[in-house]
Amino acid sequence: MQPKNLSPQRENNLKITEINCTIMMEFVLLGFSDIPKFHWVLFGIFLVIYIIILLGNGIIILITRIDFSLQTPMYFFLSNFSFLEICYVSVTIPKMLMDLWTQKGVISFFACATQMCFFLMLGATECFLLAMMAYDRYVAICNPLHYPLVMNHKVCVQLVVASWMSGLPVQIGQTCQIFSLPFCGSNQINHFFCDIPPLLKLACGDIFVNKMMVYIFAVLFVTVPFMLILGYYIRIISTILKLPSSTGWTKAFSTCSSHLIVVVLFYGSATITYLKPKSNQYEGMDKLLSLFYAVLTPMFNPMIYSLRNKDVKEALRKFLPKFSALWDI
């Protein structure tokens, strides 16, 4: 109950504060509101992309389970990576499609925090899983005689579990830290999902510590795994160059090329997004980069691994006739 002796100005300020507190119970994702004429076109494009991601990664998971020739550590990691990609895009694309369909970007405070938490956790998992896949190639090429012993099924499961669990406590803590900040003024997030950089722009007060924590976590979960991958591939390349024949070079490089392409696509766009200096002049570029690593890279992954991998192409040739036969029945 408000005291009766408050001045009109104080009462007005109190009402404004109450309104701001009410508004901050939800956010508005602006998404692609700056190009309203293309909403339905974008809806169709992203719906097709989402279906391609689900089908492409789903087929890879299926063939690595049913084809005996793909029952190896390399394809065990690949099937887990495909499952991760399905989870990763399902955090952002369904909400984005709903916003394009309804032309409303309203998201509750809790839903926004949940979306960002899962996006960060799955992103951290992808960084570490890519590093584990590089370690698998390193052992296979640099220590081929010890490969079956070192990369046994138990070790592979442990590495995958470690990749999935590594980001849980840190990213949950980071999400709690971000959403414990006071938000005032506008509740409009100039992005198509709840991400750290656009949310920090809405926060009030001194957020220097929060920005520093973002950089520290980015270094921990992006730079460190990338340096591990770089180290593994330096050893791999040095080993390949010692092989006596060009045939050995081609075979060794063919097992690594798909993984390298995915690493460059994902780490390149993610590193630029989270480690570059923030500026209001590049908000459109931020969206484009986020779209690239959050949506387009997961769509390219099945194509990269299937088109550049003989084993996967052969498994697909055996699988598709069976699938069409079942469809005819």
Lowest-pLDDT choice from 59-68, 123-132, 237-246: 237-246
Lowest-pLDDT choice from 42-56, 81-95, 157-171, 264-278: 264-278
Which string of DSSP letters, residue by residue, matches 217-268?
Answer: HHIIIIIHHHHHHHHHHHHHHHHHTT-SSHHHHHHHHHHHHHHHHHHHHHHH
On the question of pLDDT at 159 being above 50, the answer is yes
Residue recorded with tokens 């084809």: 67
On the question of pLDDT at 13 being above 50, the answer is no
Q: Across the chain, what does the average pLDDT equal?
A: 82
Average pLDDT over residues 226-231: 92
Alpha-carbon gap, residue 141 to 148, rounded angstroms: 12
Alpha-carbon gap, residue 210 to 188, rounded angstroms: 20
CB burial of residue 26 (10 Å; 0-12, 13-18, 19+): middle
Q: What integer pLDDT is reported at residue 23 of this predicted model?
A: 44
Residues 124 and 225 sit within 8 Å (Cβ to Cβ): no
Average pLDDT over residues 152-161: 95
Q: What integer pLDDT is reported at residue 6 of this predicted model?
A: 46
Residues 294 and 92 sit within 8 Å (Cβ to Cβ): yes
Average pLDDT over residues 249-265: 78
Q: What integer pLDDT is reported at residue 151 of this predicted model?
A: 94
Q: What integer pLDDT is reported at residue 91 of this predicted model?
A: 96
Give the pLDDT band of residue 34 (cuts 50, 70, 90). confident
More confident residue, 157 or 301: 157
On the question of pLDDT at 17 being above 50, the answer is no
The pLDDT tens digits for 200-220 are 888 887 788 888 888 888 888
Structure tokens at 65: 């389970």
More confident residue, 128 or 285: 128
The pLDDT tens digits for 49-92 are 999 999 999 989 998 888 888 889 999 999 999 999 999 999 99
Q: What integer pLDDT is reported at residue 197 of this predicted model?
A: 85
Give the pLDDT band of residue 175 (cuts 50, 70, 90). very high
On the question of pLDDT at 10 being above 80, the answer is no
Lowest-pLDDT choice from 164-168, 219-223, 224-228: 219-223
**% of the chain exceeding 90 in pLDDT:** 38
